[in-house]
Amino acid sequence: MQEDYGTLRILGKNRPVPLRDLFTDVYLLEDPAHYRYDTLSEMNDRILERAERNRSTRLSGQEAIRQNPKLFLLGKPGAGKTTFLRHLALNPPPNCLPIVLELRWWALKGHQDLSLQEALTQQLECASLPAPTDFLDRVLKAGKALILLDGLDEVPQEAELRQNFTQQIADFARTYRQNRFLVTCRTAAVSHQLKNFIYCEMADFDETQQQNLCQKWFSQNSGWTERCWADLQNSPASLRELARTPLLLNLLFLNYEQTGEFPQRRFELYENAINTLLSEWDAKRAVQRRSAQNSPYGRLSLGYKKDLFTELAINGFVNRKYVWEKAELEAYLAQFVASLPEKPDKVQMVDGADLLADLEAQHGIVVERAKQLYAFAHLTFQEFFSAQAYLSGGKDPLDLLAHTTDDRWREVSLLTASKLPPRLARLFFEQFTTELFQTLQTLPQLKPALRWADSRPAGALTAPVRFARRLWLVTRQLDLALALDLALALDLALDLDLDLARARAFALAIALAFEVGIHANQFEWLNGVAKDETCWLWHAVADFWKAQPATSTPEQIAWLQTVIQAPDTQQQIQGLEEILRLRGWQLDIKLNADEMKTLRHFFGSLTRCLECLALARLPEKDEIYARLLYVPDGM
């Protein structure tokens, strides 16, 4: 048993890994998605918020087995169904003999005519048990067997083979009802024939399970464990969302093991996850779900399949749509196949219901999230395919500039900017900076402050650091103006303050990245800096000034070090204002409510520009930085 089921194959690793080294306790949902009703609007909102899918009661996998002698376990691809089954084979409940049958083996030609009892007997023969037929009969009659049937979804549907197998399982479980049974199946292939079974679903990994797997993955080096977990916690929400699926979490850890970081440019990482689900996962396990003759979706090329997901994703994103009703999705799939210029044989007339069933069963990229409601398994997948629409020529990347202050479009914009070829990236940022400059022209009050910032001695500072100093000085002064402007509505002040804090944090991140060598992952982390984290920000300010000895005296640096250790934020702010006063900053900027709204849009767009620029594959970035917030003489 240990030899057959004690190891796992991890994509990307050239040798199997002992199951005990990676297994993490699993939890099951008592209310599977297929049986759960939900409204389209509520689910749409939860997906946009990247809320967890686990809304029903979570039950420990071991406890579920103990409480339910007949369990039908559903799960999306890579959710850990087979891993849990193998763990049970090695760690069964007391007084139970585990017998494992991979149902795809039973479905092979030459095995299909076996009864379930005969198929189980052959598994015992492979274990070299003497008189396996009599042995199995005694164990079953004594009620001591734990029958583990893996992968009902991997049994072909041709000639009603899956239906026949399912009926045999139901009859067998009824005949030997005193034994324990576990059947695993992908969510999309759920069968309702096993009426005496309790249906449940693999729960997404929560943070505790993610951390446990991280500790197991890097068990040979505790330093890596702590660093990897900290980096994962500080990663963007789009990447953390993938960590809820065990298969994808293993891919994340494999990438980290090979590179020592989660990539700042995430496009290739997401592409690897998509390709794993589209083809590699089943191929590695030698699974063929439907024959080519009876699978209209299966006959589509890989390129057409990606086009299908891309079109669905971007049309949904543009229309703020993340959930589709079943009939709506079936109609889209049928229309997509009908519109192909070169249709595969026998696909001219195809039922959308067949396409949807095939698509969901094979990949788990689009899944049923509640009864009759479908969505991408992760919002990250929809964002990836939406970005692909701008990279493949289906959409103009410049259209993204209409969404520079909409957080919904942030990840799509970053993914697109990170993969644009240099020629298109140059056009993208030229247009971006032109639009920023045009907005800046409508705020003449900022021009004196910008000119004053550029008048300070620059020495040998690079263009990014000159921009960072320009942005920091201006946003600091604008914070003072906000504090003095009592006429400004509170909600606008708070919203704008957040944009200013993000812009200022990014200015410091850019300066530090170029001059001090800060870790690249902190670009994303600094993006979340807000007022309750000002203490860390002042430390960054101190480093920022240290990088500019031409404009900071030793006395000022020493004073600043004292200031950042002040017990409360107000003292820190007062100390910084005093430093600015000693530097000769006497400017004061006042803006009315309409101008503040314009400024809010400007800083939101500027922040998006900086985020995209940090990821772009563009050799002449200094030219872009030099244009940002620069006001020529006479303007």
Region 139-148 average pLDDT: 95
Percent of the chain with pLDDT over 90: 34
Q: What pLDDT band is residue 492 in, cutting at 50, 70 and 90?
A: very low
- DSSP string of 471-531? HHHHHHHHHHHHHH-TTS-HHHHHHHHHHHHHHHHHHHHHHHHHHT---TTHHHHHHT--G
Predicted local distance difference test score (pLDDT) of residue 402: 94
Predicted local distance difference test score (pLDDT) of residue 574: 52
Which residue has better confidence, 521 or 250?
250
Closest alpha carbon to 429 in 450, 406, 401: 401
CA dist 247 → 87, 154, 275, 405 (Å): 16, 18, 12, 34
Across 336-373, b (16+ Cβ under 10 Å) vs e yields bbeeeeebbeebeebebebbbbbbbbbbbbbbbbbeeb
Predicted local distance difference test score (pLDDT) of residue 506: 43
Strand bridging mode 366-370 / 180-186: unpaired
Predicted local distance difference test score (pLDDT) of residue 452: 62
Q: Which amino acid is at 202?
A: M
**pLDDT tops 80 at residue 346:** no
Q: Which amino acid is at 593?
A: A
Q: What pLDDT band is residue 484 in, cutting at 50, 70 and 90?
A: very low
Predicted local distance difference test score (pLDDT) of residue 343: 59
Q: What pLDDT band is residue 53 in, cutting at 50, 70 and 90?
A: low
Q: What pLDDT band is residue 604 in, cutting at 50, 70 and 90?
A: confident
Predicted local distance difference test score (pLDDT) of residue 464: 57
- DSSP string of 55-69? -S-EEEHHHHHHH-S
**pLDDT tops 60 at residue 425:** yes
d(CA 123, CA 66): 24
Lowest mean pLDDT among 35-49, 363-377, 456-470: 456-470
Closest alpha carbon to 75 in 66, 85, 67: 85
Percent of the chain with pLDDT over 70: 70
**pLDDT tops 60 at residue 155:** yes
**pLDDT tops 80 at residue 500:** no
CA dist 161 → 156, 158, 166, 297, 359 (Å): 6, 6, 9, 20, 20
Query: What is the C-alpha R_g of the chain?
Result: 30
Predicted local distance difference test score (pLDDT) of residue 179: 96
Which among 130-134, 173-177, 560-564, 573-577 has the top mean pLDDT? 173-177
Predicted local distance difference test score (pLDDT) of residue 398: 96
Mind listing the pLDDT tens digit for each residue in 191-234?
667 888 999 999 999 999 999 999 999 988 778 999 999 999 98
Lowest mean pLDDT among 306-320, 344-358, 477-491, 599-613: 477-491
Which residue has better confidence, 160 or 576?
160
Mind listing the pLDDT tens digit for each residue in 3-23?
778 888 776 677 888 898 899
Predicted local distance difference test score (pLDDT) of residue 92: 93
d(CA 16, CA 20): 12
Which residue has better confidence, 464 or 340?
340
Q: Which tokens is 373 given?
A: 């409601």
- Cβ 235 vs Cβ 524: under 8 Å: yes
Region 408-420 average pLDDT: 93
Q: What pLDDT band is residue 341 in, cutting at 50, 70 and 90?
A: confident
Predicted local distance difference test score (pLDDT) of residue 612: 86
Region 511-532 average pLDDT: 35
Which residue has better confidence, 378 or 52?
378
Tally of CB atoms within 10 A around 532: 7
Which among 11-15, 279-283, 583-587 has the top mean pLDDT? 11-15
Predicted local distance difference test score (pLDDT) of residue 512: 39
Predicted local distance difference test score (pLDDT) of residue 120: 93
The residue with tokens 């576990």 is 182
- Cα dihedral 474, 476, 479, 485, rounded to 10, equals -60
- DSSP string of 180-230? EEEEEEEGGG--S--TTSEEEEEPPP-HHHHHHHHHHHTTT-HHHHHHHHH
Predicted local distance difference test score (pLDDT) of residue 542: 45
Strand bridging mode 97-102 / 145-150: parallel
**pLDDT tops 70 at residue 287:** no
**pLDDT tops 80 at residue 168:** yes
**pLDDT tops 60 at residue 2:** yes
Predicted local distance difference test score (pLDDT) of residue 469: 57
Q: What pLDDT band is residue 490 in, cutting at 50, 70 and 90?
A: very low
**pLDDT tops 70 at residue 472:** no
Mind listing the pLDDT tens digit for each residue in 225-243?
999 999 999 888 889 999 9
Q: What is the pTM of this model?
A: 0.77
Which residue has better confidence, 486 or 249?
249
**pLDDT tops 90 at residue 300:** no
Region 390-404 average pLDDT: 93
Region 551-574 average pLDDT: 50
Mean pLDDT (the chain) is 76
Predicted local distance difference test score (pLDDT) of residue 412: 96
d(CA 108, CA 102): 11
SS3 267: helix
Which residue has better confidence, 323 or 539?
323
